[in-house]
């Protein structure tokens, strides 16, 4: 199809979509305009869903948040820690179902570690986005990565 032109996609919009943890919200990327938009999963507009279905080459659904990948990241992050008491504290907080909030709370007292986690998380998300774009044959002019 003729969709191979470079489109302007706002990187931050993609990041926001990939970081979406709300199961009730679904994000799409419009390949023609580069726009990222979201709708409620139970959006009651048949015309809208028909349009999406008939143009699946144009409207790409952005994948759900990957909890397994995040958990993996947190494990790596904690493994690399030097401070033993903080390490065991965080390991315990990982047992929970949604470890991230607890973790951020604990880390709020450790600015360097917080910074390190933010960088790791950004890299993880950026990696997922780039892989997804490549798999979808979308090439964006990637200025800030």
pLDDT for 143 beyond 60? no
Phi-psi region of 42 (alpha: psi -120 to 50; beta: other; left: phi over 0): alpha
Are 62 and 93 contacting, i.e. CB atoms less than 8 angstroms apart? Answer: no
For the chain, the maximum distance between any two Cα atoms, rounded to a whole number of angstroms, is 57
Domain boundaries, the chain: 11-63, 67-126
Are 40 and 24 contacting, i.e. CB atoms less than 8 angstroms apart? Answer: yes
pLDDT for 124 beyond 90? yes
The count of other CB atoms within 10 Å of the CB of residue 31 is: 21
- Tokens matching residue 105: 């709370």
pLDDT for 99 beyond 80? no
19-30 per-position pLDDT tens digit: 998 999 999 999
28-73 per-position pLDDT tens digit: 999 999 999 999 999 999 999 999 999 999 999 999 988 888 889 9
């Amino acid at each position: 199809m003729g969709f191979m032109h470079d489109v302007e996609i706002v990187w931050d919009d993609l990041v926001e979509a990939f970081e979406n943890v709300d199961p009730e919200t679904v994000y799409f990327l419009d390949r023609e305009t580069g726009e990222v938009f979201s709708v409620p999963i139970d959006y009651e507009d048949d015309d809208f869903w028909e349009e999406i279905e008939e143009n699946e080459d144009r409207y790409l659904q952005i994948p759900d948040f990957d909890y397994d990948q995040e958990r993996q990241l947190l494990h790596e992050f904690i493994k690399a820690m030097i401070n033993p008491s903080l390490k065991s504290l965080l390991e315990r907080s990982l047992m929970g179902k949604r470890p991230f909030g607890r973790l951020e709370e604990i880390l709020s007292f450790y600015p360097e570690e917080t910074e390190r986690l933010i960088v790791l998380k950004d890299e993880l998300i950026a990696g997922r986005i780039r892989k997804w774009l490549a798999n979808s044959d979308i090439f964006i002019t990637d200025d800030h990565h």
